[in-house]
Structure formats: C-alpha cells, structure tokens
Structure 1
C-alpha cells in the first residue's frame, strides 16, 4: 500500500461531513433515549463545527481572492470560487434550519413548517447548482441530496405539525421510492456490465467491486430506515442506539471512501493546491512517511544479492600434441570418455 497514492485523492470536505454526521447521530440517539441529559445545542455541536469550517474556509478564500488578483488565473480559479459561493449559500440555509430545529427541540417556539422553510428554499438553488455542476464537470453530492428530498421534507414537517395523520411508513414514501430506484438502477447496470461481451475482465471485476461497495452502503441505510419508521409508529421498542447502528455502519464505511474521491476544491482556505501537498509542506516530517510503501508479501531478493551456490568444475589438463614426423602434421590424440 502506497501512502502517497492513498492521500493524493483525499477529499477533506467529505471526510468532515461523514465524521460530523457520525458524531451527531450518536449523540442524537443517546439524547433521544435519555442516556445523556445535555442540551440539544450540545448534541448539534458536530454540525456547528462542520458549518464553522465551511464559513471560515470560504472567508479566507475570499480574502486571498481579493488581495491577490494574480492567483485568479491559476487553473480554474473562477469556477472554483463560484462553487464555493454556491456551497456557502446552501450551507447557510441548512445552518438556519439547524438553529431553528435545535431551538424548537428545546422550547417549541415555532411550528415545524416554519422550521423546515430554509430547507424548502434550498430546492431551487440545488437544482440550479446541479445544472451548473453538470456543465462544468463538478461533483455536487450535497446539492443533489437537497434537491431530490424536497418532497420528503414537506411530508415530515406536515406530520410533525399534525396537519396530516398518516403513519410514518406513508410519510417516508418518497424515501422508499428513491431507495428503490437506486437499487433497481444499480442491479440493472450491473447485469448489463456483466453480460457485455466487449467489457474487459478487469473492468467487469472493478465494476462488481464498486457495486458491492454500494450495496454495503444501501442495505444498512435501508435497514435503519425500516427500523426507525417502525419505532416512530410504535411497532418496536428497540433502543435508539440499536436502531441507529446500521446508519453508523454506513457512515463508517463512507469515511475511508473520502481517501479515494476526487473533486476537492483547492480554493478552500486559500491554499490553491492539493490538500495532501499543502499538508506535506506544512508538516515536512510527514514526507518521510508519505514515501513508504507497504507490501503484504515477502520482498523478493534482487538477483545480484542472492547467494547462489556455484559448483566448481575441475580444470581439464592440457591436451598433449603428437607430431607425426613422417608428414609434419599436428595430430591431436583421440580420447574416449568413460562413464562414471
């Protein structure tokens, strides 16, 4: 395993998101079952840290952009800054929703329809961001999630305010449809790739491994949704940490994937370079470990260092030459080798 190849495509943004969601869901489950008695503001602390990193990174990037106009022509500087502006706009709306939700959990000041209003506003921005990202070849996973889940947000807010009396299983119908479509597309695409005759064996094997990795994410997530919906409907009374355990598994699986994901915006915090290169410059001592390669099998000994026993052959005695005095020619003697 080459550590340089492992970190060269590291996406710190996705790593922060996955880690923040993992810590938040753990605290949320413990708070929901009464295992901890802290306030909801402390439960939302991982989400606050996530948003603070986004806002501080965008602010520093804006200052570097304003003070150094010569940096703007490096690479795709203008595209990167537009992506940061779109991301900050969406994170600001999500941050407002989190503040309103946390305040409502503490004191119930507002109706949930008002609390979810910032999420409703993310839908048109997310759709426009997805179109822009497709045009400029940008991966916008967060924007995609906000755009396709707008109907789910509406149903949850109406259910919490008791405007609708459906069961939670019906409320989560948009989520069931989305998960079903993802599973169906994944299965159909895998079958087509597997049966395609022009596909190389290496490509087929790589696609199967990717499909297996997606299954390890979708299956635990779907299990969590079923258990959580049944808990909300009163069908089961399992503790929340046990119900959230499949979700923890999905987030733990997602954490290592951030080391192989591309698409990191190099203008965050104004570093203007790959995060791994920036980290190696800040901490030169890490360069020693970045050049280490680990192997899981014994290293072959180079040919020049191998100790090969050499059998020494006896040196043959010089062949005598007999001179024929009658003709003057040199006639070598004829010898017959006897077998050992």
Structure 2
C-alpha cells in the first residue's frame, strides 16, 4: 500500500538535495577518472556547486526573515532551529573551501594535499562541539558525526596523497574500516530485530513493516558501501584493474538508497529559505492542487478479494435504511387521466 500523504509528510528536502547531488557527482567523477569524458573538474563539480549554492542562498533568506520579523522568533523552538541552521551553514562553508581547493588542485596541482585537507580537519574538530550541542537540544547531527569520527582518516589521506607515507591503501583506510565494522554490527542488529518482531503476535502490522523497512534500508546502505571501499582500495593498490565506473556501482546503490530514505527521514530545519513550516505544508500552500493527490492512498487488491469482501465492511448508511417517521404518512392521490371527462 502506498500512502502519498505519509510519504510526503515525512519528506526531508535537505537530505534529498544532498544525496541527489552526491549521486550525480560520483557518476561524473568516475567518468572523468576513466577519461571517458574530458571535462574540466570545475564542470565535474557542478552538482557540488549547486548543493552549496542552495545551502548558502537558503541560509541568507532564512536570516533575512529572522531579522526582518522579530515576532517569528517567539514561535516554538525557532531560536534552536535558527541556531542549528547557522551551524550547518558554517559547516558547509568550510566544506565549500575544501571543494574549491580540491578542484583547483586536481586541475592545476599547485597545492599540497595537506593544505587542501586543512578545512576538513578544522571542520572535524568543530563538529565535536556541534555534536554535543545537538545532543543537548535533541537535534540530528549526521554530517557533524561523520566529520568528527573521520578526522584521522582525513589526515591519512592527505599524507598518502602527498607521498609523505608509503603505506598500502588498505592500511590507509583503517579508520574507515573501523567505522564500517561498527555500521555492520548495527545492520546485523537491525536484521535480527526485524526477524524477531515479525514473529511476535503482539506487534502491530505497521511496526513490523517499519522495522523491516529499516533493516532493508540499512543493509542496502552499508553493505554496498563496504564493497565499494574494498574495491577502491584494491584498485588504488593495483590489485585489480577495474574501471572506476564499475567500482562505483555499489556506491550508486548506497546513494540511491539514501535518496529514497529521505522520503521517510522526517526532521529538517524549517528556517531554510524562511518558510517556517513543514516542507509538505509549504508545497501544498504553493500548489493547492497537490492536496488531491496527497489525500489518495493506493492498495493492490485482486478481483477475488473484491468479490469476497465481507458484508460488515459495507458502510452503515448502505446497510440500513431509515424508516420514515410515523408523523409523516404518505398521502394517497387518485390517478387522474386526461382522457376521462370530469
């Protein structure tokens, strides 16, 4: 059964934009590494520039609305959400500096990679404080957590790309292997929990379906990502000679899974672009005609199920007929024929 109302109610537009841009960028970057396309890296990074432009433009409009209308600051947890937007924007600005330096270094090779990775290292340190603040204020912190746990990985990558260390790439990726092992433990736990709850008669059907969806989503996210990292490490160590477009196929599966999961991710900051409301409500306000589709749910039902539908499912107003009250008796009127004379 597909319920469009719940599907768009839980939609997280921020995650959808980020993961969609990363999906397109990873495809273009793999083609560029294989020399299938000869585009400039500035063009290859176009999805990244679109992502950062939307973040900065949305933060500017949200800040303008915040300072323009002081009464809006009193609405619920507006101050917490606005502060979270500012923190996220600062993170993306540091990430934008890294993207510009990396793109320029790929194009001209004028900088050392240690210099290029300095914004990421600084962002990883700042992310630790952002994570603490997010926990205290019950906010999500996926990007901050990713940066804070990978600070050692960023250092290893910079040193290896500058040939300061000559370790095998499998050893360079040790920090990411640790993270992936923890993620695999979480996937195994989610799968086992979904199996146990599916056998329990005390769990309602919606909870079983939710646990099963979570287990499948985590599996399609972590397992292909691990396969991609193993193939990439072997390719960099020249243990295989696959094309990068073939190596990144598991990465596409993980990113596509993240794009699909953004429709049920909920959350999101309502101060982006100053909309101050849920994205679904904002979209319905702009296009009222979408309400017709948002209130429709579809279910697959066979012809035999339709025939054997029990009678108690019939609406009550169709099962019983109201009897006219006794006070209102039908009036009997004699039939008058036009052909009969008076």
Report the secondary structure of 2:264's partner residue: coil
The alpha carbon displacement at 1:215 in A equals: 1.2
Structure 2 CA distance, aligned partners of 1:206 and 1:48? 35
The alpha carbon displacement at 1:216 in A equals: 1.4
Query: Cα gap change, 1:124/1:36 in structure 2, threshold over 3 Å: closer, same or farther?
Result: same
Matched residue, 2:214? 210
Structure 2 CA distance, aligned partners of 1:295 and 1:187? 31
Matched residue, 2:145? 144
Matched residue, 1:268? 272
Q: Does residue 111 of structure 1 match 2:115?
A: no
Matched residue, 2:244? 240
- C-alpha offsets along residues 63-97 of structure 1, whole Å, 9 cap, x if unaligned? 00011000001111100111011001110000000
Matched residue, 1:85? 86
2:193, 2:211 within 8 Å by CA — same for their partners in 1?
no
The alpha carbon displacement at 1:199 in A equals: 9.7
The alpha carbon displacement at 1:284 in A equals: 1.8
The alpha carbon displacement at 1:257 in A equals: 0.8
Whose radius of gyration is greater, 1 or 2?
Answer: 1
Matched residue, 2:99? 98
The alpha carbon displacement at 1:189 in A equals: 6.4
For normalisation by structure 1, the TM-score amounts to 0.85
Structure 2 CA distance, aligned partners of 1:209 and 1:14? 18
For normalisation by structure 2, the TM-score amounts to 0.84
Aligned residues: 306
1:243-262 to 2 correspondence within 5 Å? 243-262=247-266
1:301-316 to 2 correspondence within 5 Å? 302=314
Considering only aligned residues, what root-mean-square deviation do their CA atoms show, in Å?
2.2
Matched residue, 2:330? none
1:194, 1:204 within 8 Å by CA — same for their partners in 2?
no
Unaligned runs of 5+ in 2: 320-342
The alpha carbon displacement at 1:22 in A equals: 0.1
Matched residue, 2:170? 169
Matched residue, 2:51? 50
